[in-house]
């Protein structure tokens, strides 16, 4: 059973994603072609082995980092050319994605190193404006490598659409009437998306609930749909709208809302990793780390920040791959409500029989590789190519592993040196740049801010003035 009480689903084989589409844009125009990126070279005779460990990666120039990432993943370096801002998302394509476009907002895109997920080396693209996130995830992944990295699993990619029925005179009987018509309603829903059914997806079940509210009792039908490699919102919404009128007739009620739920608790991903006690600093650090995590389990005030740390990693990868960050975040936080009705931590940390820390994370992960910005945004396409994933399930499991790594890094910092030491040393670079330090001046300004324990803009301005006065 999932945390919400709905039964879980058996894992099924995933279908491979079809050819991608590349984006070409002209003056105010963007068009799509069916030219896919070449797949990464896999391990084997005559092929290079993927790696997520790149010596001195952070010290390289940006262009050299791209070259190193292409070499490490077996990609043609041309695939990563779109990471240049002038070659990424242009205003022509942006104008087709949303309304009233006036420009494009850039977000820093970094690569987390050292990840091993289910035995595979993975370089992870992360789009975030927050300092220390990429570095912290990379460091946690490095520690996890000692025990094989991250092990993951997931359920079938089932999304749900709700149909709200009002004014049912006999709601208990109305619920049973809908269940009696299960096969008819499933067939009607599947007829809306024959291609999804052809690829092995479609409606798997119908569930019906009675929901009491301050305005009355509602009969709420759930279409449970295997959406394969899509996020699935459009597919399940179309099905719900097609089925609503007939469901109303059967239940003898009036249909109102017909829309998916972002509480995707039938589409769960899980990650697990062992963090070696010796690499952490010994039994005392392990004990304190477990105590720090236990507070998040028991206290919703701590849990809110604890889970935000998880989402620092998850949202960065979701955004980088063109998926819906709001849907993933909504599903995650709704899943954090315990059966007792209390908001709690999504992850768990405990000591194993050998005294090491074991971290686990399970949460909804409705991400896709089919449709949406993932198949249109040129940078998102490049990020998917870097990951080397071929199914939505594989992407979801990597995202979950990154969430666990990010969470471990934050809890470890809190239980040892405090969060500010690592975070503020990286934040100092941002401040130095903000106050006008040149690339050559930034290292000296950062060193002074850290040495003075005063990572503030006004102090940075004073330090920069002093440095320039000595020239």
Q: Which residues are catalytic?
A: 130, 308, 324, 423
Distance CA 27, CA 16 (A): 35
Cβ-Cβ contacts under 8 Å for 173 (sequence gap 6 or more): none
Are 361 and 99 within 8 A, CB to CB? no
DSSP single-letter state for residue 15: P
Give the torsion sign (CA, 345, 211, 155, 315): negative
Chain position carrying tokens 């009696």: 180
Are 40 and 75 within 8 A, CB to CB? yes
Tokens representing residue 59 in the block? 């010290």
Distance CA 209, CA 217 (A): 10
Distance CA 59, CA 203 (A): 50
Distance CA 317, CA 221 (A): 33
Distance CA 387, CA 120 (A): 10
Tokens representing residue 143 in the block? 């520690």
Chain position carrying tokens 């399930």: 393
Cβ-Cβ contacts under 8 Å for 165 (sequence gap 6 or more): 174, 218, 219, 220, 221, 247, 248, 251, 253, 254, 255, 256
Cβ-Cβ contacts under 8 Å for 244 (sequence gap 6 or more): 163, 255, 258
CA–centroid distance for 151 within its chain: 17
Are 346 and 332 within 8 A, CB to CB? yes
Which parts of 15-168 fold into alpha helices (H)? 62-73, 91-97, 133-144
């Amino acid at each position: 059973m999932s945390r919400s009480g709905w039964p879980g689903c058996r894992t099924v084989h995933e279908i491979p994603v079809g050819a991608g589409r590349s984006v070409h844009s002209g003056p105010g125009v963007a068009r799509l072609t069916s030219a896919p990126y070449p797949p990464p070279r896999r391990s084997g005779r005559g092929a290079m082995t993927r790696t997520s460990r790149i010596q001195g990666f952070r010290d390289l120039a940006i262009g050299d980092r791209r070259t190193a990432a292409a070499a490490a993943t077996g990609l043609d370096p041309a695939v990563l050319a779109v990471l240049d801002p002038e070659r990424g998302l242009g205003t022509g394509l942006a104008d087709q994605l949303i309304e009233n476009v006036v420009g494009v907002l850039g977000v820093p895109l970094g690569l987390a190193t050292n990840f091993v997920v289910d035995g595979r080396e993975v370089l992870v693209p992360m789009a975030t404006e927050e300092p220390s996130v990429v570095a912290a995830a990379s460091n946690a992944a490095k520690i996890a490598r000692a025990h094989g990295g991250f092990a993951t699993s997931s359920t079938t990619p089932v999304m749900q659409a709700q149909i709200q029925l009002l004014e049912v005179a006999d709601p208990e009987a109305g619920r049973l009437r809908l269940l009696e018509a299960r096969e008819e309603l499933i067939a009607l829903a599947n007829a809306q998306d024959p291609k999804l059914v052809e690829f092995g997806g479609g409606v798997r079940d119908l569930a019906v609930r009675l929901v009491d509210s301050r305005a009355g009792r509602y009969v709420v039908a759930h279409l449970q749909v295997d959406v394969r490699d899509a996020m699935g919102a459009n597919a399940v919404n179309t099905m719900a709208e097609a089925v609503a009128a007939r469901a109303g007739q059967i239940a003898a009620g009036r249909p109102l809302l017909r829309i998916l739920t972002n509480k995707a608790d039938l589409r769960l991903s899980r990650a697990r990793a062992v963090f070696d006690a010796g690499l952490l600093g010994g039994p005392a650090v392990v004990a304190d780390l477990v105590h720090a995590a236990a507070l998040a389990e028991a206290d919703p005030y701590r849990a809110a920040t604890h889970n935000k740390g998880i989402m620092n990693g998850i949202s960065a990868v979701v955004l980088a791959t063109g998926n819906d960050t709001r849907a993933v975040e909504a599903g995650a936080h709704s899943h954090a409500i315990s059966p007792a009705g209390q908001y709690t931590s999504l992850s768990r940390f405990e000591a194993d029989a050998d005294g090491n820390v074991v971290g686990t994370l399970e949460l909804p992960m409705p991400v896709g590789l089919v449709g949406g910005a993932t198949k249109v945004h040129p940078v998102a396409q490049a990020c998917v190519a870097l990951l080397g994933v071929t199914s939505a399930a594989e992407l979801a499991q990597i995202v979950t592993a990154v969430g666990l790594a990010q969470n471990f890094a934050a809890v470890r910092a809190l239980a040892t040196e405090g969060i500010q030491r690592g975070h503020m040393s990286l934040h100092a670079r941002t401040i130095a740049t903000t106050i006008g330090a040149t690339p050559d001046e930034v290292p000296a300004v950062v060193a002074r801010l850290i040495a003075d324990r005063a990572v503030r803009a006004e102090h940075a301005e004073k330090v920069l003035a002093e440095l320039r006065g000595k020239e």
